[in-house]
Amino acid sequence: MAATRTKQNDNGRSHQLYLGVDGGGTKTHIALMRPDGKVKCEGFAGPANPLRVGVETAVGNIIKAVNEACDNGGVSRLDIVAATLGLAGVRRADLRQRVKERFTKSVGIRNTN
């Protein structure tokens, strides 16, 4: 599951951070990476398996981890230009779509593929 967005700050300078999510049945680990591939910051939260905890809780835990990483790294969620989510429990297309819709709405990434 991937999503993309283009973002420029008030000075017109482009910020680009890439979000990687590893969401499992016991915890969520995310990393925000710079364009050079180096990790800028990380965050952790509870489980993100929607079959185990439901879509709202799963996405909520992803957002908690993203917020923690942003706080620790001194960056904004608006700096995230693309995201890839690896989640347990999203084999069903309908469930995967619900997670994707809720996630993109929460983070504000408009273009998805």
The CATH number covering residue 29 comes to 3.30.420.40
Give the structural domain span for 52: 2-112
pLDDT of residue 106: 87
20, 38 in Cβ contact below 8 A? no
pLDDT of residue 58: 97
pLDDT in tens, 4-56: 554 444 434 357 999 999 999 999 999 999 999 999 999 999 999 999 999 99
Mean pLDDT of all residues belonging to the chain: 87
Does the predicted model carry a pTM greater than 0.75? yes
What are the beta bridge partners of residue 111?
A: 4
Q: What is the DSSP letter of 79?
A: G
* Unique residue bearing structure tokens 């809780």: 57
User: What's the structural domain count of the chain?
Assistant: 1
